[in-house]
Structure 1
Amino acid sequence: MLSRIIFLQERIGYQNQPFYIIKLKTMRDLRDEQGNLLPDKQRVTTIGKFLRKTSLDELPQLINILKGDMRLVGPRPLLPEYLPLYTPQQLKRHSVKPGITGWAQVNGRNSLTWQQKFELDLWYVENRSFRLDLKILWLTFLNIFRKRDGDELAEKFNGKN
């Protein structure tokens, strides 16, 4: 029963180490005739859209914080399949623990290109401070309660986009 509402997904964290992120399930496991998952846009549920828009699907990641895998603020942890595609500069995003929210999330989220996300993540890594973290938390809080850009689903990173 719990697997119907929560799922674990491998992500890459601090110092390129894998860990399992905990999330609320927002998509169905619908597959085509060959057994391949259908595109995300076809699988996301109505409740899932709401959970994603309000970022409530991220709440279980508080457990990841308690476990020491994540922080409240930092670059979002990405899938292991992206790791070989990073440039040496982009790998620097893993010099800090990943976060539930980050500079890229409050500055456009999924409306940004991957290049823009990486630039914002690297800017955060180079400029992080307690004051900046407080600003990001405040902007995250404001974004939850207002219409914002970036609610669409992210496209997969291919090392070029």
Structure 2
Amino acid sequence: MNDKKDASGALLPNHERITPVGRFIRKTSLDELPQLFNVLKGEMSLIGPRPLLPKYLPLYNAEQRKRHKTRPGITGWAQVNGRNAISWNKKFELDVWYVDNVSFLTDIKIVILTIKKVLLRKDINDTENIGMQPFTGNNNG
């Protein structure tokens, strides 16, 4: 992504700043590879709810906080069931379902589905808003 700005000096929207190389890296999920170091260091798991920004912590309700009962992962139940094309509410629902239903077989299913989603480039939000809208605690819909 580049640092292009408008006439007033504000950064342009993400979709106007992403470079062709950056778009390729995101679409092929190559930007996830550095997280393998976090797995090797024991800070993350391969499978589990995706880590979210620390600034979201005070915005979670009691049900949403359950997602922290397991180690965060590179991929998870929410990623194979919608990735970044689902709402925040659905993402939290799927994360909590995973935490409540952790099993080796579920993890194997998530690995297989993740490989399939990445190869087919499925459920990537290709709208002008690259990535998801920020979580505000109110945009659960």
Residue 84 of structure 1: how far off its partner (Å) = 1.1
2: CA distance between counterparts of 1:34 and 1:78? 31
Alignment correspondent of 1:40: 14
Stretches of structure 2 lacking an aligned partner (at least 5 in a row): none
Residue 142 of structure 1 and its aligned partner are, at CA, apart by 0.7
Q: Is the 8 A contact 2:77 2:98 kept in 1?
A: yes
Question: Compared with structure 1, are the counterparts of its residues 82 and 145 closer, same or farther at alpha carbon in structure 2 (3 Å cutoff)?
Answer: same
Identity %: 58
**Which residue identity is paired with 2:57?**
L
Matched-pair contact (CA < 8 Å) for 1:114–1:157: yes
Q: Residue 124 of structure 1 is aligned with which of 74, 79, 98? A: 98
Residue in 2 that maps onto 1:154: 132
- 1:150 deviates by 2.5
Q: CA deviation at 1:147?
A: 3.6
Deviation, structure 1 residue 34: 6.3
TM-score, normalised by the number of residues in structure 2: 0.87
Tell me the distance in 2 between the aligned counterparts of 1:77 and 1:32.
32
Q: Distance in 1 between matches of 2:11 and 2:63?
A: 32
Distance 1:88 1:34, change over 3 A: farther
Q: How does 1:83-122 map to 2 (within 5 A)?
A: 83-122=57-96
- Partner SS for 1:89: helix
Report the AA paired with residue 130 of structure 1: F
Does the 8 Å contact 1:110/1:151 carry over to 2?
A: yes
Query: Is residue 44 of structure 2 the alignment partner of residue 70 of structure 1?
Result: yes
| CA distance in structure 1 between the partners assigned to 2:79 and 2:96 by the alignment | 13
Shift of 1:94: 0.9
Q: Which has the higher contact order (CA 8 A, sep 6+)?
A: 2
Give the CA deviation at 1:80: 1.3
Q: Which runs of 5+ in 1 are unaligned?
A: 1-26
What letter matches 1:99 in structure 2?
G
Aligned pairs, number:
135
Q: TM-score, normalised by structure 1?
A: 0.77
Tell me if the contact between 2:117 and 2:123 (Cα under 8 Å) persists in the aligned partners: no
CA RMSD of aligned residues (A): 1.6
Alpha-carbon contact 1:112-1:150 (below 8 Å) kept: no
- Residues 30 and 64 of structure 1: is their aligned pair in 2 closer, same or farther, counting only changes over 3 Å? farther
